[in-house]
């Protein structure tokens, strides 16, 4: 009996030990199972999150597409409405000239009738107006826009334009008159159907800041420019326009110059205008045997210049209330683009009296040389003016030229032949040297007049001179203005 009890107790202990052992040894297995189960749940959750993200992305894309479709439909409807409105405007413009002629005949002793006020035009309008871009033979139509106010000497300008233009159909002349000056209007009216006469309708007093009241004329000019260019591009539908002011003489090859350079303006995105003017084109500072030579310039010259409808579409929405020429020279407008300008000017101003009160006239403008030699630009290869061709040759010519001083040039002590270079490294150094040569020494938005890559090129005592910054020049400093 005792042996059985011992055996039972011993067996119970062994069984308990085995059970305990298996219970202890089974815990890692359960932990591994739990870990695997949690890992699986996480993977499933990740897959569900990815699926939800994908569904949300598809939903967002559908929403964007719906919005775009709605926007496109709205744009199409708006364009259709604008097109109908433009058609009515065009029809009205066709009727208007006949009505104006009758009104003028009936009111010989009254002021010239003003056309009705036109609504403001935005860049969107330009896409809906029929354009006048080319003649049937493919040649470009380039309109000439003459700005006039209260100077009867506009006759001098118009006489030359009509005398020298080769084709009235290719170069239509539009005179835009401001100021309601009766005598000036009478002079313009005498040209009949040789020109088109339009009048700036808004003659209301213009709001000017108190400190700028004496500059009110600049505000009126900017308003006139904005209206007239909108009319030329967005109402009359011209693709290219040459701007002329009523106090300019023109050279015999004025039209040939613009016709020859037109393909450059149309093909090179780095160009935004062609100007007939050389700011430093005084006799003694130009090579009179190089009437055919043209340059690129970062300085907007004005005074007889050509622009495209594409450029005006860009500038029109932000056109300034005053000082438009300095505004257009700002980096935000210029955007590193250049203009073409000639060695010898194709325009010259005779307007000593004006809103600028003759500023620069006595010292510079009256000495500008007007070209007299007819150059057949349309028969020349002008591709050297395209940026990719011009920049390499220009930089090489400038910085491989001999460095000299003003005194060496003035006294004729330069031994080397060919072009020479006078370096400048500061604003004041440039101004000092420019004054010594009789150049215009001012800056606009950091750019010197006629400058290209900071280099001002002119002619002095029989040789080409480059007034140039450091070879590692890296842009204009606007604080130099």
Point out the residues that are catalytic.
325
Q: Alpha-carbon distance 280 to 439, whole Å?
A: 6
| CA atoms in the 13 A half-sphere facing the CB of 156 | 15
Asked whether the beta carbons of 385 and 296 are under 8 A apart, the reply is yes
Cβ burial, residue 52 (10 Å; 0-12/13-18/19+): exposed
Q: Which 8-state DSSP code applies to residue 120?
A: P
Closest to 230 measured CA to CA, from 266, 202, 268, 189: 202
Q: Alpha-carbon distance 403 to 466, whole Å?
A: 9
Q: Tokens for 289? A: 């045997």
Contacts of residue 261, Cβ cutoff 8 Å, sequence gap at least 6: 274, 294, 306, 340, 377, 382, 385
**DSSP β-bridge partners for residue 296:** 340
Contacts 24+ apart (CB under 8 A), 451-458: 451/297, 451/298, 451/299, 452/295, 452/296, 452/297, 452/298, 452/338, 452/394, 453/298, 453/391, 453/394, 453/395, 455/394, 455/398, 456/280, 457/295, 457/398, 458/280, 458/285, 458/286
Asked whether the beta carbons of 305 and 276 are under 8 A apart, the reply is yes
- Residue 319 backbone zone (phi > 0: left; psi -120 to 50: alpha; other: beta): beta
Q: Which 8-state DSSP code applies to residue 114?
A: P
Cβ burial, residue 55 (10 Å; 0-12/13-18/19+): exposed
How would you label 236-270 residue by residue, b for 16+ Cβ within 10 Å and e otherwise? bbbbbbbbbbbbbbbbbbbbbbbbbbbebbeebee
Q: Alpha-carbon distance 299 to 339, whole Å?
A: 7
Start-to-end Cα distance in the chain: 124
């Amino acid at each position: 009996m005792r042996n059985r009890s011992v055996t039972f107790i011993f067996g119970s202990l062994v069984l308990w030990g085995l059970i305990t052992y298996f219970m202890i040894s089974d815990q890692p297995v359960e932990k591994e199972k739990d870990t695997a189960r949690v890992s699986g749940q996480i993977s499933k959750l990740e897959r569900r999150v990815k699926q939800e993200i994908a569904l949300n992305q598809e939903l967002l894309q559908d929403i964007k597409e719906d919005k775009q479709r709605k926007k496109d439909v709205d744009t199409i409807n708006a364009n259709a409405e604008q097109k109908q409105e433009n058609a009515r405007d065009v029809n009205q413009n066709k009727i208007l000239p006949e009505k104006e002629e009758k009104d003028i005949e009936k009111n010989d002793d009254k002021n010239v009738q003003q056309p009705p006020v036109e609504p403001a035009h935005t860049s969107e309008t330009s896409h809906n107006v029929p354009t006048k871009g080319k003649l049937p033979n493919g040649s470009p139509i380039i309109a000439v826009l003459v700005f006039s106010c209260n100077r009867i000497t506009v006759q001098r300008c118009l006489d030359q334009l009509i005398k020298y233009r080769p084709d009235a159909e290719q170069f239509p002349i539009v005179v835009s008159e401001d100021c309601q000056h009766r005598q000036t209007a009478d002079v313009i009216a005498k040209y009949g159907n040789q020109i088109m006469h339009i009048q700036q309708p808004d003659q209301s007093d213009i709001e000017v800041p108190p400190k700028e009241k004496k500059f009110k004329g600049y505000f009126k000019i900017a308003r006139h420019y904005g209206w007239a260019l909108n009319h030329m591009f967005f109402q009359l539908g011209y693709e290219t326009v040459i701007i002329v002011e009523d106090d300019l003489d023109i050279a015999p090859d004025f039209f040939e110059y613009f016709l020859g350079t037109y393909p450059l303006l149309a093909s090179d995105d780095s160009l935004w205008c062609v100007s007939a003017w050389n700011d430093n084109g005084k006799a003694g500072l130009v090579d009179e045997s190089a009437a055919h030579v043209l340059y690129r310039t970062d300085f907007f010259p004005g005074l007889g210049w050509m622009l495209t409808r594409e450029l005006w579409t860009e500038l029109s929405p932000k056109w300034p209330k005053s000082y438009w020429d300095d505004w257009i020279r700002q980096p935000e407008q210029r955007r590193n683009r250049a203009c073409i300008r000639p060695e010898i000017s194709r325009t010259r101003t005779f307007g000593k009296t004006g809103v600028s009160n003759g500023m620069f006239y006595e010292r510079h403008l009256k000495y500008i040389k007007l070209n007299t030699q007819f150059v057949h630009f349309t028969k020349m290869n002008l591709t050297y003016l395209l940026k990719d061709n011009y920049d390499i040759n220009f930089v090489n010519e400038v910085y491989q030229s001999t460095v000299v001083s003003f005194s060496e040039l003035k006294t004729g002590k330069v031994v080397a032949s060919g072009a020479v270079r006078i370096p400048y490294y500061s604003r004041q150094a440039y101004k000092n040297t420019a004054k010594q040569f009789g150049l215009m020494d001012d800056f606009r938005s950091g750019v010197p007049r006629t400058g290209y890559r900071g280099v001002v090129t002119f002619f002095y005592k029989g040789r080409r001179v480059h007034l140039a910054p450091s070879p590692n020049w890296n842009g204009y400093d606007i604080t130099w203005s």
